[in-house]
């Protein structure tokens, strides 16, 4: 029987309403009382390391979660992290960058409704997460509504529905229904053959824990009429900025010339990542004039990464280096499937 550690951090899944609204209150053992049959499949241990609403998650708490996995790594075959849904995607991505060389499953899950509520999704999500934590897969994942999602590709798209999380710009790794797991084997073959990185089969790697994150970054969403003075403030107070541009990578250059302000930032050794406000398909600066006017050799090209992954990845890259060329290379380099996948390649692998 596999040995599984559940690391509880709070969230809706562990919440109860004492009269002032839902707030985290359940510990691991109390959660497990709602899914007694799972304990027959594996040896489950648990520890409560924080009991917070996930809106209060921050990088130091990411580090606490990552450290808990790291310190217990040799004792367990898999890990389940119970978490609030609002910032779950940020945490799963952060763990991917902070825990490198993972050759065991680290599964993050939660629920839209408390485990004590009638008709809740908490019991199913927790059971599914434990099932995946027993598998011979490697990496950080989100499990929600019967789907296994790459930890850097999860995005919360709904506030109430059970199918709250989407795998953006990336196929689901697997699905589970009635305890039966169905893997996307064409995706597995893609990683084995195209990236020479099979994270479905255990490999003998030494896990590395890196908690050096630079928190001095800002996410800026462009809107019509944005005051360019905000970029002067960024230059004086931050080391990096993620700009959510329009469409495929458009940044305005008339009236308030934002492209000029972006150049001022990069000339001042500020890391500038340009992504899109659109959820799918990423950015491409070579199509429109508004994209081509950017100094593409200096800005960091987000490609098809989502903001939830870009935030911890930029923090991680800036924590590793002050050299902007190195930071650019670190962010733009694909890691654990966080950038780029060609569906035609997947179809070719499936036919092979």
Question: Residues 186, 349: contact at Cβ < 8 Å?
Answer: yes
Whether residue 296 is predicted with pLDDT greater than 90 in this model: the reply is no
Q: What is the mean pLDDT of residues 65-92?
A: 97
CATH class of the domain at 217-332: alpha beta
pLDDT of residue 186: 73
C-beta separation of 201 from 136 below 8 A: yes
pLDDT of residue 167: 95
**Model confidence at 288: pLDDT above 60:** no
pLDDT classification of 350: cutoffs 50, 70, 90? very low
Average pLDDT, the chain: 87
Section 295-303 average pLDDT = 81
Percent of the chain with pLDDT over 70: 86
Residue 224 Cα distances to 60, 176, 218, angstroms: 35, 43, 19
Predicted pLDDT of residue 39: 81
What is the tens place of the pLDDT at every residue in 304-316? 999 999 999 999 9
Q: What is the mean pLDDT of residues 241-250?
A: 88
CATH 3.40.50.1170 maps onto the chain at 3-209
Query: CA separation (Å) from 257 to 20, 231, 243, 250?
Result: 48, 11, 15, 12
Give the tens place of pLDDT for each residue, 155-190: 999 999 999 999 999 999 999 998 899 998 777 665
Are 43 and 55 in contact by the 8 Å Cβ rule? The answer is: no
DSSP secondary structure, 187-252, as one string: HHHHIIIIIS--SSS------EE-------EEEEE--TT--THHHHHHHHH-SEEEEEEBTTTB--
Query: What does pTM read for this prediction?
Result: 0.90
Distance CA 195, CA 188 (A): 10
Determine the pLDDT at residue 341. Answer: 66
Residues 82-119 have pLDDT tens digits of 999 999 999 999 999 999 989 899 999 999 999 989 99
pLDDT of 27: 83
Q: Where does the chain show beta strands of DSSP type E? A: 3-10, 15-17, 22-24, 43-52, 78-82, 99-100, 105-109, 139-144, 147-150, 154-156, 165-167, 174-177, 180-183, 208-209, 217-221, 240-245, 271-276, 300-301
Specify the residue for token string 């987000």. Answer: 302
d(CA 181, CA 71) in angstroms, rounded, equals 29
Output the CA torsion 210→216→220→225 (10° steps): -170
**Which secondary-structure segment (H or E) carries 317?**
helix 307-320
Local structure of residue 37 (DSSP, 8 states): G
Q: Which pLDDT band, with edges at 50, 70 and 90, does 277 fall under?
A: very high
Domain boundaries for CATH 3.40.50.40 within the chain: 217-332
Q: Tell me, what's the pLDDT at 188? A: 65
Q: Does residue 120 carry a catalytic annotation?
A: no
Among 128-132, 142-146, 185-189, whose mean pLDDT is lowest?
A: 185-189
Between 282 and 342, residue with greater pLDDT: 282
Please compute the mean of the pLDDT values over residues 50-68 and round it to a whole number: 96
Q: Which of 12, 96, 109, 152 is catalytic?
A: 12
pLDDT at residue number 266:
93
299 pLDDT more than 80? yes
The pair of three-digit structure tokens given for residue 15, joined into one six-digit string: 């919440």
pLDDT the model gives residue 204? 46
Average pLDDT (331-345) is 77
Strand duo 180-183 + 105-109: pairing: unpaired
Residues 66 and 211: beta-carbon distance below 8 Å? yes
Q: Lowest-confidence range among 55-59, 251-255, 277-281, 297-301?
A: 251-255
pLDDT at 308 (0 to 100): 97
Q: Would you state the pLDDT for residue 282? A: 85
Residue 128: is its pLDDT beyond 60? Answer: yes
At 213-228, the pLDDT tens digits run 999 999 999 999 888 8
CATH 3.40.50.1170, domain 3-209, yes or no: yes
């Amino acid at each position: 029987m596999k040995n599984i550690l559940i690391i509880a951090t709070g969230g809706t899944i562990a919440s109860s309403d004492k009269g002032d609204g839902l707030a985290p209150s359940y510990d691991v053992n109390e959660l497990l009382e709602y899914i007694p049959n799972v304990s027959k499949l594996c040896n489950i241990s648990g520890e409560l390391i924080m009991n917070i609403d996930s809106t209060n998650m921050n990088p130091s708490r990411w580090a606490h979660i990552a450290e808990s996995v790291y310190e217990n790594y040799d004792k367990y075959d898999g890990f389940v992290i119970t978490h609030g849904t609002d910032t779950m995607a940020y945490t799963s991505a952060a763990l991917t960058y902070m825990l490198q060389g993972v050759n065991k499953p680290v599964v993050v899950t939660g629920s839209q409704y408390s485990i004590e509520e009638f008709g809740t999704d908490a019991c199913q999500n927790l059971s599914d997460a434990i099932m995946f934590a027993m598998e011979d897969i490697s990496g950080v994942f989100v499990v929600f509504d019967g789907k296994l999602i790459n930890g850097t590709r999860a995005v919360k798209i709904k506030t109430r529905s059970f199918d709250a999380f989407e795998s953006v710009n990336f196929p689901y790794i697997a699905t589970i229904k009635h305890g039966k797991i169905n893997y996307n084997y064409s995706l597995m073959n893609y990683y084995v053959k195209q990236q020479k990185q099979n994270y479905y089969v255990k490999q003998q790697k030494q896990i590395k824990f890196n908690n050096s994150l630079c928190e001095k970054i800002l996410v800026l969403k462009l809107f019509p009429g944005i005051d360019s003075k905000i970029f002067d403030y960024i230059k004086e107070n931050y080391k990096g900025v993620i700009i959510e541009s329009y469409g495929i990578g458009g940044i305005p250059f008339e009236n308030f010339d934002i492209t000029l302000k972006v150049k001022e930032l990069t000339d001042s050794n500020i890391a500038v990542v340009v992504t899109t406000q659109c959820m799918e398909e990423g950015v491409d600066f070579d199509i429109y004039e508004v994209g081509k006017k950017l100094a593409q050799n200096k800005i960091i090209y987000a490609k098809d990464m989502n903001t939830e992954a870009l935030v911890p990845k930029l923090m991680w890259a800036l924590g590793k280096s002050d050299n902007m060329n190195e930071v650019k290379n670190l962010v733009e380099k694909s890691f654990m499937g966080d950038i780029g996948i060609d569906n035609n390649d997947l179809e070719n692998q499936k036919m092979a």
